[in-house]
Amino acid sequence: MARVSAIVFAIGLGVVALNWVTTIIALAESRVTKKHVSPIWIPYVGPIGLTIGCAGKGFPVWTWFLPWALDVGTLAFLRVTPWLVGEMWRYSRFTRTMTIVGRRDNQSAQLSLHRGGFYLLKKKWQREMTETGIVELGESGTCSVDGPDFVLKTDSGNTRRLSSNGDGSYAVTECGDFPENYSLQDWVLHVRNGEISQCS
């Protein structure tokens, strides 16, 4: 058991050290190149290993908390955790008010509208095993209601209008410089499962 604790402790110490080394290298490279360089962080693994190792070696309980306060990877991840949780909730099935889908050639699109005025687009390609190319992508942004229509604004500032045909389908027109893979120009999307709602 003591040997296992020592191994786990060593792994934890190694991960914490790796987090610090990559952080220092990224900061130095950013300073030299004047460009943002992201470090590689492995959160939680180091502190968990060190905590298990401390417990196995009989260290005082207060020392178990030190690894959590000293691991830069875990601290950085904890800093963005509220934002990650917020994003997960924003686009979750619990906030979804409507789903609109469409298909064209080997492409399919699923557009979900969410409470708070947000949308999430998922676009997929059906490709042969030997065919190369993009398989799936996602796009998020804000949604507003204009009469029976929806106006979607991407996070990059482009605008997409879904004009209601009055039968649960929507014709798509786009304004802005959409990359080809993201474009839904002239698509017709249909409400899935008879959902009739609004994004608000």
Alpha helix locations (H) across 42-141? 45-56, 66-70, 72-90
H helix or E strand, kind and range, residue 124 = strand 118-125
**pLDDT recorded at residue 140:** 93
Mark whether 71 and 106 lie in a shared domain: no
Which residue among 57, 90, 123 closes a domain? 90
Same domain, 171 and 107: yes
- Give the predicted TM-score (pTM) of the model: 0.69
Instruction: Tell me which residues of the chain have a pLDDT lower than 70.
Output: 1, 193-200
Claim to verify: residue 186 and residue 114 sit in the same structural domain: yes
71 domain-assigned: yes
120 and 171 in one domain?
Answer: yes
Last residue of a domain, one of 62, 90, 118: 90
162 and 107 co-located in one domain: yes
Predicted pLDDT at 124 = 95
The per-residue b/e assignment along 134-146, b for 16 or more CB within 10 angstroms, e otherwise, is eeeeebebebeee
Residue 22 lies in a domain: yes
Q: What pLDDT does residue 4 have?
A: 77
Give residue 1's pLDDT. 62
Question: What would the pLDDT profile of 97-122 be if each residue is shown by its tens digit?
Answer: 999 999 998 999 999 999 999 999 99
Report the alpha-carbon distance of residue 178 to residue 53 in Å, rounded.
52
Within this chain, do residues 86 and 154 fall inside the same structural domain, yes or no?
no
On whether both 100 and 189 belong to a single domain, the answer is: yes
- Shared domain for 42 and 24, answered yes or no, is yes
CA-nearest of 159, 162, 161, 163 to 178 is 159
Residue 36 lies in a domain: yes
pLDDT for 128: 86
In the chain, the number of structural domains is 2
What are the CA-CA distances from residue 35 to residues 23, 126, 198 (Å)?
15, 37, 42
Q: Is residue 150 part of a domain?
A: yes
> Domain residues for 156?
96-194
Query: What residue type is 110 in one-letter code?
Result: Q
Decide which of 75, 90, 105 is a domain's last residue: 90
Query: CATH no. for residue 135?
Result: 2.40.128.300
Do both 72 and 117 map to the same domain?
no
